[in-house]
Amino acid sequence: MLVKQLNNLKGTVSIMQEDSYGRPLKDLRISITDRCNFRCNYCMPPDEFGPGHKFLPKSDILSFEDIVLLVKAMLPLGLEKVRITGGEPLLRKDITNLIAMIRQCGPKLDIALTTNGSLLARFASKLKQAGLDRVTVSLDGIDEQIVKRISNSNVSPNDIISGIQASADTGLRVKVNTVIIKNYNENQIIPITSIFRKMNVVVRFIEYMDVGGTKDWDPSQVVFGDDIRSVIASKFGKLQAVEDQKYGQVANRWAFDDGYEIGFIESISKPFCKSCTRARISANGRLYTCLFSERGHDLKSMMNMGADEEDLRVAVLSVWGKRADRYSEIRNQRKQTTRPVEMHFIGG
C-alpha cells in the first residue's frame, strides 16, 4: 500500500502521512555540524566538551548533496519548513551554497536558520541573497559578563546584536531566543525585552529543558513562562494572549497594547506535543522524531549505499507512521533508560 502510494509520488501527487497521534510531518530541522564556538553550560558544558572531546569525523557528516536529497525526499510528504541548525551552523564552510541549493529544490519552502549570532553580521546579507527567509538568534542576556559566563566564549553581546540588526536590515525575518535559568540570568528578562522592543524584534523566552545527557538539569532551575510574563508585565504593562495561534506553533504568543509581541516556549509547564510536526536530522544523518529521542534512524548509511529520493521517502514514511513521541507530556512518569541525544548533535 505504502509503495503504491509512493509510486504515485513520481508525478505531482503528494501524500501527507500522519503519525500515530494524527500529526503530519511539516517541519524538518537539520543539524549540519556538531561543532560550536560556544560552550553554553546548558548545552555543551566545557567539562564534557573540552579539548579532548571527539567530534564527528568529516566522513560521517552529511554532505550538502545528502541534505538536498533528504529535503527532496520529504517535500512531497507535506514539508513546509526547513530549519538549519547545529552546533553552530555558521561554522560550516560554504553554508550560503547550502541555503541556495535548498532554495532551488523548494522555491516555496520556508527556510530558517538558528545561530548563536557570533558570525551573523558577516553572513546576514549573503544568507538573504542565497534564499534564507528567517533567522533565529540565541542570546541569553545583554550583560557582557552574564553572557560570557553562560556561553563560555569571549563574544560580546553587542556583536550578536549587530548581527541581529544586520539581519533585520537585509530583510530577513528575525527572532531572538532566550533561555532563562534561575539564579543565572533572570535579571536579563527586562533588559532583553527592553532592547528588542525598541528594535521591534520578537523575543521568545524558553523554559530550561532537560534535553541531552550531559547536564545536571534540575527542575528547580526552570523559570516558568507565567513567572517571566509577570516580570515583564510589572515593568512594561499588561500582556494579552494572542488568539490566532497556529497548529504546530512552538511558541505561545503574547502582545502588549501597542502590538509588540513576545513568545514563550513553555515545554515544561505547557507541553505542546499534541501538535508537534517536527522531525530532526542529526549531523551524521540520523532521523529523530523527538528532541528527547534516545535512538535515531540511520539515513546516511542508506545514502552511502545508494538510496535515492524514493527509498528515503519510504524509510521516513515508515518511521513517521509509527511515531508516538510525547516526551514533554509524560516527562514526570518516564524512566530514562539510555542517555538521550545531545541538543547540539540533533539540532535545537
Contact set with ligand SAM (CB under 6 A): 36, 42-43, 85-86, 88, 114-116, 138, 177, 179, 206, 208-209, 211, 343-344, 348
Quick one: angle between helices 189-199 and 225-236, nearest 10? 60
Q: How far is the CB of 272 from ligand SF4 (least distance, A)?
A: 5
Q: Which residue has the cell 523548494?
A: 106
290 binds, among ligand SAM, ligand SF4, none (CB under 5 to 8 A by kind): ligand SF4
- When the beta carbons of 39 and 83 are compared against ligand SF4, the nearer one is 39
Site for ligand SF4 in 200-259 (CB under 6 A): none
Exactly one of 24, 70, 83, 87 binds ligand SF4 (CB under 6 A); that residue is 87
307-327 residues labelled b (16+ CB within 10 A) or e (exposed): bebbbbbbbbbebbeebebbb
Site string for ligand SF4, 39-68 (x = CB under 6 A): xx--xx------------------------
For residue 308, the one-letter residue type is: D
Q: How far is the CB of 115 from ligand SAM (least distance, A)?
A: 5
Could you tell me how many residues make up the chain?
A: 348
Question: Is residue 272 a contact residue for ligand SF4 (CB under 6 A)?
Answer: yes
Q: How far is the CB of 173 from ligand SF4 (least distance, A)?
A: 20
Helix (H, G, I), strand (E, B) or coil at 264: strand
- When the beta carbons of 37 and 96 are compared against ligand SAM, the nearer one is 37
Residue 144 to residue 98: CA distance in whole angstroms? 33
Instruction: Considering only the stretches 120-128, 180-188, 189-197, 286-294, report the one whose residues sit in contact with ligand SF4 under the rule CB under 6 A.
Output: 286-294
Question: Is residue 327 a contact residue for ligand SF4 (CB under 6 A)?
Answer: yes
Three-class HEC string of 20-68: CCCCECCEEEEECCCCCCCCCCCCCCCCCCCCCCCCCCHHHCCCHHHHH
Angle among Cα 32, 38, 43 to the nearest 5 degrees reads 75
- When the beta carbons of 127 and 307 are compared against ligand SAM, the nearer one is 127
Site for ligand SF4 in 109-138 (CB under 6 A): 116, 138
DSSP 109: -
Instruction: Considering only the stretches 64-72, 91-99, 196-204, 289-297, report the one whose residues sit in contact with ligand SF4 under the rule CB under 6 A.
Output: 289-297
CB 221 within 8 A of CB 212: no
Task: Name the CA radius of gyration of the chain, rounded.
Answer: 20
Residue 177 to residue 271: CA distance in whole angstroms? 18
Q: Which residues contact 22 (CB under 8 A, 6 or more apart)?
A: none
Exactly one of 17, 167, 284, 328 binds ligand SF4 (CB under 6 A); that residue is 328
Q: Which residues bind ligand SF4 (CB under 6 A)?
A: 36, 38-40, 43-44, 86-88, 116, 138, 267, 272-273, 276, 278, 290-292, 325-328, 344
